[in-house]
A = this chain, B = another copy of it.
Amino acid sequence: MIVRSMVFLKNKSLITTQEWSKDELEYVLNKAFELKKTFKKGRYNIHKKLEGYTLIMLFFSPSTRTRNSFEVGMTQLGGHAIYIDADKSWVGRKSESIKDTAKVLSRYADAIGIRIFPNVVKWKYGEANRIIREFEKFSEIPIINFEDDLYHPCQALSDIMTIKEKVNNLKNKKFVISWAYHPRPLPVSVPNSTLLATTRFGLDVTLVHPPGFELDDKIINIAKKNASKNGSSFEITNTLEDAYAGADIVYVKSWGSLKEYGNPQKEKKLRIPYRENWICNDQLMDLTNKNSFFMHCMPIRRNVIATDSVCDGAHSIIYDQAENRLHLQKGLLVSILQS
């Protein structure tokens, strides 16, 4: 008989999934499935688990899914989310240290979510993550990473939830993370977090990108260890056709080259050659398994990242991914505030 280790998530911050045990992640996923099952839009069965609770959301960068799913989620749980446009507060100004802001908000609220994109920290690699970790160091309430320059854990966990819904048994299903062209260099947070999460849930992961778009070695090494520890595989290729062949799930995402990180002009030159071919289209999807799934975290630049026919086609589960942000994060909030 196997007894799962006890899970105590109360007050635990989520900066990256890698710092959480598998049991802890499964706990949140189970909580999310449970909340989703007993909730039916239009016939509201409101969960008052977080009545009186406040989540403060600090946005240094724009958001559609993250902001709305968290704010709706808190409402459905009976609590409230405060949206803060960081430009309109003292946060990040010289007049107040992160320590002081974290200490003070801890006295009012019950959790803090923070989003900081690379441009906010002038493309100093890892600086956005460092800021979130500095908040976490001084905060007395849990910090949730709403996406920084390294990680997007809420997205990755929501995607695991979606995959679990669509695929009966994740074990050794072929999961492809494919780079795509985009007119501007985008952060590596989503591919990083997707890699880190999927390699822990038994999927056989293939990462495909053009030469020059390698992800951070540290992330790659952790992903490799995750895979070997979980009896699955992890491969990297530069050939789209090899990657798509026989795939059960294709997760498409653009990201900027780390080689010219923060130099948009030079970086652009690296990206331009792949403009024509690195788009997910029907021909590529035809190489996958018949019942395969197309995933993207959105927002998705249509007919650049993927064609309309893929986005709107039978393989696409992008809106389910977006919806599960709501459910997964409700599970997360209940877990770290009440468990």
Contacts and interface: CB of A to CB of B under 8 A. Distances in A.
Interface of A: 41-42, 44-46, 51-54, 56, 59, 62-65, 67-69, 71-72, 75-76, 78-80, 82-85, 88-91, 93-97, 100-101, 103-105, 107-110, 298-302, 311, 318-319, 322-323, 326, 337
A90 B63 CA distance: 6
Contacts of A76: 52, 54
A322 B104 contact: yes
A319 B104 contact: yes
Given A90-B62, A319-B107, A323-B108, A299 B100 contact: yes
A323 B107 contact: yes
A71 B54 contact: yes
Main secondary structure of the interface of A (DSSP, over half): mixed
A101 B51 contact: no
Contacts of A56: 68
B75 A107 contact: no
A107 B326 contact: yes
A53 B40 CA distance: 11
Given A41-B110, A62-B90, A68 B82 contact: yes
B90 A299 contact: yes
Contacts of A41: 110
B104 A298 contact: yes
Given A46-B51, A105-B68, A108-B323, A62 B89 contact: yes
11 contacts: A54-B75, A64-B91, A64-B104, A67-B82, A72-B80, A95-B299, A97-B302, A100-B299, A100-B300, A107-B319, A108-B323
